[in-house]
Homo-oligomer: A and B are copies of this chain.
Amino acid sequence: MVIVMEQGAEPGQIEAVIEAVQKEGFTPFVNPGVERKVIAVLGVIDSVKVALVDRFSNLPGVERVQLISEAYKLSSRSYHPEDTLIEVGGVRIGGPEVVIIAGPCSVESRSQILEAAEAVKAAGAKMLRGGAFKPRTSPYSFQGLGEPGLKLLAEAREATGLPVVTEVLDPHDISLVVKYADVLQVGARNMQNYALLQRLGKTSKPVLLKRGPGCRLREMLQAAEYIMIGGNHRIILCERGITTFEDATRNTTDINAIPVLKHWSHLPVILDPSHSTGHVRYVSAIACAGVAAGADGLIVEVHPNPAEALSDGVQSLTPERFQQMMQVVKRVSWAVGREVAAK
């Protein structure tokens, strides 16, 4: 941590900063800058110092406080240099295999989810996605089936053997969702819902953490930290597009996020090309891009009949297009030294 003093900071102000740093138990180190003084704070890693940024920032004469190292710890690669491997029902995410998760946006009916599950399994998907609790921008849109939807997901798992990923919206639904799901998804709009994150830290199921569309990558790792601090270290990070000025696509796929997160963190990183593009026309190209950039997996929306879907139909692949996408994804995986496991 580095404390930059204002250009005209008085000696007394510098003294006061030095004392404040010492009072917190750290060693101050004054750099004799020609223009302005810079005080380095030595002693511990910056994730712990985060709480001190505000503390030091408002001392008189301080221009600003900059963290030099990461604002997170448990999720950082410096804390845990090896890749974390997460195993769910026999599927391993974060290893050599590129894991494909697929299924409809929402569970709509028994036949729909069973048909979808069989179709994605046949094409090579290793996990099933499907929403029972749906966060929708408009309250007038379909909100999901709730617990009956969870039961249908469990039934689809029985039928296909595919582990199930589903979203939990309300901290108090966790105990319910945990009964049916294999992986608990935190939706993009809840990435900084700390009440939810803290309770997920106390569960034993892996968490698929989607990036908030307006959140920086370091905020995403800080959100992961909220869960990890509670004891649950099995987190899958998911890039799903960010909000920018470009309106040609529903979101902007931040493809850089994949190698950056892999560099900063030991956690597995996957891409959701359905939400990050918002249109079926672009899903396959961006799915391939994600694998080429180093993603450990993909989560893709597939619906037996997109034209009848109650949500996200315009970005859902038919089973046929998903099958075609899988062919290319497999070849790209091989090209970058990974693999998509045969069934």
Contact = CB atoms under 8 A, between A and B. Distances in A.
B171 A139 contact: no
Contacts of A259: 277, 281-282, 285-286
Contact of A254 (B44, B246, B257, B294): B246
Interface size class of A (residues with CB under 8 A): 35 or more
Given A68-B4, A244-B242, A336-B288, A58 B309 contact: yes
A173 B199 CA distance: 14
A245 B245 contact: yes
A199 to B, nearest CB: 9
A254 to B, nearest CB: 6
A307 B40 contact: no
A310 B52 CA distance: 9
A190 B193 CA distance: 6
Contacts of A277: 256, 259
Contacts of A40: 31, 33, 38
A50 B69 CA distance: 22
Given A54-B310, A58-B306, A331-B335, 17 more contacts: A7-B69, A54-B311, A57-B313, A66-B66, A135-B194, A136-B194, A138-B222, A139-B222, A189-B194, A216-B245, A242-B244, A248-B256, A260-B282, A285-B294, A288-B292, A289-B290, A328-B335
